[in-house]
Amino acid sequence: MKSARLSSPGAVRYFILIVLLLALLWEAYKLLGAPGGAYLRGTVPAQGDAGKPVGILCGSVGLCELELPVRADDRAMPHVWDIFQTILEPPRRGSDTILLTILLRASLFTLQEAVFGFLFGGCLGFALGVLFAHSGLLERGLLPYVVASQTVPLLAIAPMVVIWLGGSWFSVAVIAAYLTFFPVTINTLQGLRSPEPAAIELMHSYAATKWAILWKLRVPAALPYIFTALKVSATASVVGAIIGELPSGIADGLGRVILNFNQYYATGPEKLWAAILFASLTGLTFFLVISLLERMIVQKQVSDS
């Protein structure tokens, strides 16, 4: 427990350092761009301002048309401080609510949908993993269909789910569960099969039932595998919830906020980037919660053993 307490501040420091580094890289990339944002600063396009070719000069000095892969102007890449300033301002004139409040409410609403989908998908994935681990027939018969289900694009499935179940939060939770159950199924199956055969034989020698072997040997051995899948599924459920909000017409979540700000991107790109930032923070928060639960449960298991 002591090492866990010591490692937490270190993880926070590393996270802050990474965020600052990303912000510096963002601004450094903007510095590389010419005022127009399309070319590397210090290079010139193949045509001069008067329309005269400058290809000979460019060829001689090697500074002709070094186009950037992503435009670095303020429309494509707003300054970091402009994004944070926009968060503290109302999104439109005449409004008393700042963008921060709107994004927090939308993030909490989307997180609730993601949590329901995460729980449903996680339970379904765990149940399928247990069934496949105990029945080779079910594994051979159903696992290919489980794998095939993930080849269908989510953007194609989301409207179908909304048509079947209606445009409610439950439809969004089902869409989030669709992205959650698969990694949990695969990792649970792998984890339940991770104990050594000698350990299983020892349990059989004590006349242990399959149920006892499952909960006393297989599940404890599978916990690292399961939590790895749950951490992946935590962020995936947020993505699924955001995508599911688009066809469902739900106006309270991040999906609708991102869609609205995308329509007005030309006049306020900072708002869309702020919404994307909060969507990322929502997924990261969910990931950190699952990581904390993993640390508590796994360490308790180690201390008990």
Instruction: Say which DSSP state 64 is in.
Output: B
Residues 178, 181, 183, 186: is their CA dihedral positive or negative?
A: negative
25 pLDDT higher than 50: yes
Query: How many independent structural domains does the chain possess?
Result: 1
Cα angle: 153, vertex 158, 159; to 5 degrees: 115
Confidence (pLDDT) at 93? 80
48 pLDDT higher than 80: no
DSSP per-residue string spanning 151-171: TS-HHHHHHHHHHHH-SSHHH
The candidate with the shortest Cα–Cα distance to 117, out of 242, 263, 277, 2, is 242
Q: What is the average per-residue pLDDT within 112-131?
A: 97
Map residue 39 onto helix, strand or coil: strand
Going by pLDDT thresholds of 50, 70 and 90, the confidence category of residue 273 is very high
Are the CB atoms for 236 and 181 separated by under 8 Å? no
Map residue 150 onto helix, strand or coil: coil
Instruction: Say which DSSP state 45 is in.
Output: -
**pTM of the shown model:** 0.84
Going by pLDDT thresholds of 50, 70 and 90, the confidence category of residue 44 is low
Is 142 contained in some domain? yes
Q: What is the average per-residue pLDDT within 282-300?
A: 90
Going by pLDDT thresholds of 50, 70 and 90, the confidence category of residue 301 is confident
Q: Which residue is listed with tokens 């070094």?
A: 66
Confidence (pLDDT) at 207? 84
Q: What is the average per-residue pLDDT within 203-217?
A: 89
Task: Please give the structure tokens belonging to residue 108.
Answer: 């909490």
Tell me which of 48-57, 75-84, 164-173, 289-298 is least confident: 48-57
Confidence (pLDDT) at 293? 93
User: According to the 3-state scheme, what is the secondary structure of 214-260?
Assistant: HHHHHHHHHHHHHHHHHHHHHHHHHHHHHHHHHHHCCCCCHHHHHHH
Is 112 contained in some domain? yes
Q: What is the average per-residue pLDDT within 185-207?
A: 92
Is 45 contained in some domain? no
Task: Please give the structure tokens belonging to residue 59.
Answer: 């060829």
Is 225 contained in some domain? yes
Confidence (pLDDT) at 49? 45
| pLDDT single digits (tens) 2-21 | 444 444 566 677 878 888 89
Confidence (pLDDT) at 45? 56
Q: Residue 8 and residue 14: Cα distance in Å, rounded?
A: 10
φ, ψ (nearest 5 deg) of residue 42: 95, -10
Map residue 53 onto helix, strand or coil: strand
Going by pLDDT thresholds of 50, 70 and 90, the confidence category of residue 36 is low
Is 244 contained in some domain? yes
Q: What is the mean pLDDT of the chain?
A: 85
Are the CB atoms for 221 and 191 separated by under 8 Å? yes
Confidence (pLDDT) at 271? 93
End-to-end CA distance of the chain: 15
Is 183 contained in some domain? yes
Task: Please give the structure tokens belonging to residue 5.
Answer: 């307490």
102 pLDDT higher than 60: yes
Going by pLDDT thresholds of 50, 70 and 90, the confidence category of residue 67 is confident
Is 274 contained in some domain? yes
Enclosing domain of residue 229:
78-304
Q: What is the average per-residue pLDDT within 159-173?
A: 91
Is 154 contained in some domain? yes
Are the CB atoms for 54 and 46 separated by under 8 Å? yes
Q: CA of 111: how far to CAs of 2, 99, 254, in Å?
A: 31, 18, 9
Instruction: Say which DSSP state 195 is in.
Output: S
Q: What is the average per-residue pLDDT within 196-224?
A: 90
CATH number of the structural domain spanning residue 137: 1.10.3720.10
